C-alpha cells in the first residue's frame, strides 16, 4: 500500500492552502462582504444624488466600505473558484503523474494490431497465442479490446497455452469484470468461488442480524449459528463502540535528532492541532483528524495520524490527508525528508501491540449473559467448565504463547469469514482478529457472563471490495449497504458490532465444544464426508473419551 523511498510522490499544492480557513468558507465570507459593501455604497450614492452632495466627499463609513469592496474584489479575483480551477488542473496532472509507469508502459506497448487487423477483430484463439508468445501485452487486453470479459477469457486461454495447465475449472462467466478492473484486481482470469453460509439470527443491541460468512471450513458456520442460538435464547448481546479512527504513520527523517524532536514537540503542541487538522480535513468530506502522535527512533520520526472516515474503512482517505499534512510540514521543517507515507507504526496488516493498546478502526466490546439452562441444553456443557477452560486456554495458554491480542479461541475464523462475505480487506484480519475473550460465572454461579474485547476491527461499507455485487448483497442482508445517509459512519460501526457479536457466538460455541470434548467428532462429521473417516472419527472420539476418563481417575 505504501510507497517507499525518498522520492515519494508529492501531491500538488493548492494556492488556497495558504488560507487559514477552508477556501469554501473564505469564498462565502468575501462574497458577503463584497455585496454588502456594494449595496451600502449604492444606497449612499443615491442619497448623495438626491441631496446634491458631491460624490467624492466620503464619510469614514463610506471610506471603510470602499476599502472593504476593493479588498474583497481583489480576493475574489485571486481566489474565487480557484479550488475548482485547480482541482481540474490537478486532476489532469494526477492523471498524467499517477501512472508515470503507465506512460512508460504505453510507450512500450506493442502495436494494437495482429495479423494485419486491429486487435479486437482477431479471433480469441489467435489473440491468446499472441499473448502467450509475448507479441501482445497481457496487461493491455482490457484497454485494447474494450471488453473486460473477453480480455479475461483471452488471458485465461493464454495462461493455459503458456503453462500447459488447464484452468477449465476456474469460472469465468457470472462476474461483472467492469466493477473489478482498475479497482479490485488486475490481470484477471476468472474468480474463485467461496460458499457463503448464514449464521443467526444474531440478537444484538435489540436487533436481529443474519450474518453472512464466506468460508470453506466445515463446522464454522454451524458452530457460529449455535452460538447465536445460545445468545438469542438468553436475551441477546450488547455492544459498544469505544473508539472509531483509522491510523496512518509516515516515517520522516532529519539530519539530526534536534529536527526530529522539534517536529515531535510541534505536532504534539495542542496549539498547532487546528492548523494541522484544517490542512488534513481539506482532502475529504468524511476524513476528520482526531489525533497525532509522534515517536522517535534516533533522528527519524514516526507520526501516527488517527482520523474518522465515515462509512469507509479509510486507508485511501487517511493516506490523502496525511500526504497533505506532510506537504505542509515540509514548509515548516525544510530539513524534513519524507521516507515513506507508511512507517509501520500505522500498523496495517501486522500483529502489533500499538493496535492492541491504542486501537485501530473500530474498538468494539460485546457482552452477553448466557443462562445456565441454555449453557447445558444448547451448548451441552456447564458454566464452570467454560470458565475454567477460558482461563487455562484463552488467558494462561495464550500468555505462555506470548500472544499479541490472541487471547481468544478462534476470533479470526469468524472475522475472516464475515470480512470475505462483506468485501472487507481480508489481510486486515490480522489486527481485526485481536480479541480478548472473558468468561465469568455470574448470578451466583448459575449463568455465564461472556465478553469479547476487540480494539482494532477495520471495516467499511463503502469503497474497496464492498461495491462488488455479491459482497454488497451480503451487506444488504445486514441492512448496512453503502453510505449511511443520515449519519455517515453508522453503517460501518454497525458492521463492526456485528463482527464482534458473531465472534462472541463463535467463541461460545467452540469453547463449549472443547469443554464437552466434541471438537474432533464434529470436525469429522462436517469437514470430511467419507464414511470411513467418520468411523475413524468415532474411534478417535472413543479414545478421547477414554483419555478423559483416565485423566479424571488419575
Residue span binding ligand ADP (CB under 6 A) among the ranges 190-198, 206-214, 450-458, 462-470: 462-470
Q: 3-state class of 138 per DSSP? A: helix
285 versus 531: smaller Cβ distance to ligand ADP = 285
Residues numbered 310-329 forming contacts with ligand ADP, rule: CB under 6 A: 310-317
Among 293, 393, 523, 525, the one annotated catalytic: 523
Active site residue 349: yes
The three grid cell numbers given for residue 346, joined into one nine-digit string? 500505522
460 versus 537: smaller Cβ distance to ligand ADP = 460
Among 217, 388, 440, 538, the one annotated catalytic: 217
Active site residue 103: no
Exposed e or buried b per residue across 464-485, where buried means at least 16 C-beta atoms within 10 angstroms of its C-beta:
bbbbbebbbebbebbebbebbe
| Residues near ligand ADP (CB under 6 A), total | 18
The CA-CA-CA angle for residues 260, 264, 269, to 5°, reads 150
**Quick one: which of 287, 272, 220, 292 has its CA closest to 505?**
220
Please tell me the distance from the alpha carbon of residue 443 to that of residue 446, in angstroms, as a whole number: 5
Q: Minimum distance from CB of 526 to ligand ADP (Å)? A: 35
Q: Minimum distance from CB of 319 to ligand ADP (Å)? A: 8
Q: Which residues are paired to 312 by β-bridges? A: 462
Q: Minimum distance from CB of 481 to ligand ADP (Å)? A: 12
Q: Minimum distance from CB of 465 to ligand ADP (Å)? A: 10
Expressed in percent and rounded to 5, the helix, strand and coil fractions of the chain are: 55, 15, 30
Q: Which of 22, 235, 426, 464 binds ligand ADP (CB under 6 A)?
A: 464
Residue 220 and residue 509 in contact, taking contact as beta carbons nearer than 8 Å: no
* Residue 462 sits in the site that holds ligand ADP (CB under 6 A): yes
Q: Minimum distance from CB of 474 to ligand ADP (Å)? A: 17
Please tell me the distance from the alpha carbon of residue 493 to that of residue 239, in angstroms, as a whole number: 11
* Residue 435 sits in the site that holds ligand ADP (CB under 6 A): no
From residue 265 to residue 304, the character string flagging contacts with ligand ADP as x (rule: CB under 6 A) and all else as - is: -------------------xxx------------------
The three grid cell numbers given for residue 7, joined into one nine-digit string? 522520492
Backbone angles phi and psi of 539, in degrees to 5: -60, -45
**Quick one: which of 314, 311, 300, 186 has its CA closest to 248?**
314
- Which position has the grid cell 471450513? 217
Please tell me the distance from the alpha carbon of residue 114 to that of residue 108, in angstroms, as a whole number: 16
381 versus 461: smaller Cβ distance to ligand ADP = 461
* Residue 463 sits in the site that holds ligand ADP (CB under 6 A): yes
Q: Minimum distance from CB of 495 to ligand ADP (Å)? A: 12
Residues numbered 470-499 forming contacts with ligand ADP, rule: CB under 6 A: 483, 488
Among 349, 380, 393, 525, the one annotated catalytic: 349
From residue 26 to residue 65, the character string flagging contacts with ligand ADP as x (rule: CB under 6 A) and all else as - is: ----------------------------------------
199 versus 462: smaller Cβ distance to ligand ADP = 462
- Rounded CA Rg of the chain: 31
Residue 232 and residue 325 in contact, taking contact as beta carbons nearer than 8 Å: no
The CA-CA-CA angle for residues 389, 395, 396, to 5°, reads 85
Q: Minimum distance from CB of 323 to ligand ADP (Å)? A: 13
* Residue 244 sits in the site that holds ligand ADP (CB under 6 A): no
Among 148, 311, 425, 447, the one annotated catalytic: 425
* Residue 340 sits in the site that holds ligand ADP (CB under 6 A): no
Backbone angles phi and psi of 85, in degrees to 5: -60, -45
Active site residue 523: yes
Please tell me the distance from the alpha carbon of residue 427 to that of residue 344, in angstroms, as a whole number: 15
* Residues marked as catalytic: 217, 349, 425, 523
Interface with ligand ADP (CB under 6 A): 284-286, 309-317, 460, 462-464, 483, 488
Amino acid at each position: 500500500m505504501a510507497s517507499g523511498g525518498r522520492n515519494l510522490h508529492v501531491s500538488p499544492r493548492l494556492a488556497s492552502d495558504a488560507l487559514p480557513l477552508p477556501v469554501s468558507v473564505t469564498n462565502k465570507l468575501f462574497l458577503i462582504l463584497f455585496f454588502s459593501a456594494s449595496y451600502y455604497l449604492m444606497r449612499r450614492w443615491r442619497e448623495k444624488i438626491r441631496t446634491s452632495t458631491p460624490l467624492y466627499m466620503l464619510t469614514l463609513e463610506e471610506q471603510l466600505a470602499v476599502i472593504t469592496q476593493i479588498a474583497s474584489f481583489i480576493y475574489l479575483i485571486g481566489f474565487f473558484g480557484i479550488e475548482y480551477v485547480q482541482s481540474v488542473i490537478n486532476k489532469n496532472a494526477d492523471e498524467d503523474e499517477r501512472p508515470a509507469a503507465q506512460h512508460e508502459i504505453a510507450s512500450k506497448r506493442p502495436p494494437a494490431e495482429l495479423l494485419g487487423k486491429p486487435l479486437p477483430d482477431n479471433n480469441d484463439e489467435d489473440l491468446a497465442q499472441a499473448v502467450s508468445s509475448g507479441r501482445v501485452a497481457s496487461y493491455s487486453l482490457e484497454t485494447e479490446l474494450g471488453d473486460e470479459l473477453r480480455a479475461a477469457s483471452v488471458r485465461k486461454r493464454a495462461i493455459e497455452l503458456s503453462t500447459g495447465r488447464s484452468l477449465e475449472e476456474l469460472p469465468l462467466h457470472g462476474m461483472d469484470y467492469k466493477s473489478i478492473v482498475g479497482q479490485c484486481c488486475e490481470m484477471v482470469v476468472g474468480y474463485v468461488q467461496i460458499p457463503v453460509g448464514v449464521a443467526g439470527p444474531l440478537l444484538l443491541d435489540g436487533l436481529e442480524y443474519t450474518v453472512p460468512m464466506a468460508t470453506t471450513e466445515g463446522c464454522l458456520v454451524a458452530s457460529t449459528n449455535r452460538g447465536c442460538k445460545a445468545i438469542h435464547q438468553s436475551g441477546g448481546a450488547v455492544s459498544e463502540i469505544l473508539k472509531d479512527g483509522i491510523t496512518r504513520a509516515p516515517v520522516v527523517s532529519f539530519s539530526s535528532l534536534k529536527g526530529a524532536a522539534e517536529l515531535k514537540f510541534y505536532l504534539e503542541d495542542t496549539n498547532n492541532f487546528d492548523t494541522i487538522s484544517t490542512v488534513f480535513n481539506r482532502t475529504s468530506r468524511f476524513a476528520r483528524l482526531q489525533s497525532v502522535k509522534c515517536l522517535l527512533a534516533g533522528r527519524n520520526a514516526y507520526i501516527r495520524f488517527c482520523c474518522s472516515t465515515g462509512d469507509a474503512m479509510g486507508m485511501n482517505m487517511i493516506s490523502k490527508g496525511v500526504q497533505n499534512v506532510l506537504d505542509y510540514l515540509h514548509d515548516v521543517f525544510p530539513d524534513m525528508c519524507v521516507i515513506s507515507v507508511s512507517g509501520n507504526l500505522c500498523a496495517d496488516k501486522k500483529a502489533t501491540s500499538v493496535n492492541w493498546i491504542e486501537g485501530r478502526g473500530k474498538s468494539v466490546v460485546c457482552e452477553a449473559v448466557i443462562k445456565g439452562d441454555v449453557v447445558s441444553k444448547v451448548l451441552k456443557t456447564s458454566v464452570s467448565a467454560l470458565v475454567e477452560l477460558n482461563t487455562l486456554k484463552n488467558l494462561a495458554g495464550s500468555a505462555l504463547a506470548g500472544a499479541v491480542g490472541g487471547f481468544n479461541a478462534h476470533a479470526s475464523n469468524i472475522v475472516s469469514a464475515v470480512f470475505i462475505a462483506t468485501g472487507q480487506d481480508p489481510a486486515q484480519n490480522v489486527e481485526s482478529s485481536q480479541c480478548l475473550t472473558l468468561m465469568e460465572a455470574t448470578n451466583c454461579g448459575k449463568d455465564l457472563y461472556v465478553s469479547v474485547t476487540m480494539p482494532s476491527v477495520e471495516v467499511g461499507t463503502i469503497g474497496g471490495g464492498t461495491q462488488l455485487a455479491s459482497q454488497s448483497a451480503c451487506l444488504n442482508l445486514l441492512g448496512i449497504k453503502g453510505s449511511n445517509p443520515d449519519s455517515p459512519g453508522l453503517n460501518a460501526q454497525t458492521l463492526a458490532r456485528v463482527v464482534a457479536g458473531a465472534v462472541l457466538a463463535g467463541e461460545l460455541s467452540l469453547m463449549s465444544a472443547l469443554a464437552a470434548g466434541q471438537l474432533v467428532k464434529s470436525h469429522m462429521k462436517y469437514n470430511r464426508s467419507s464414511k470411513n473417516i467418520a468411523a475413524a472419527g468415532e474411534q478417535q472420539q472413543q479414545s478421547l473419551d477414554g483419555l478423559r476418563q483416565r485423566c479424571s481417575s488419575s
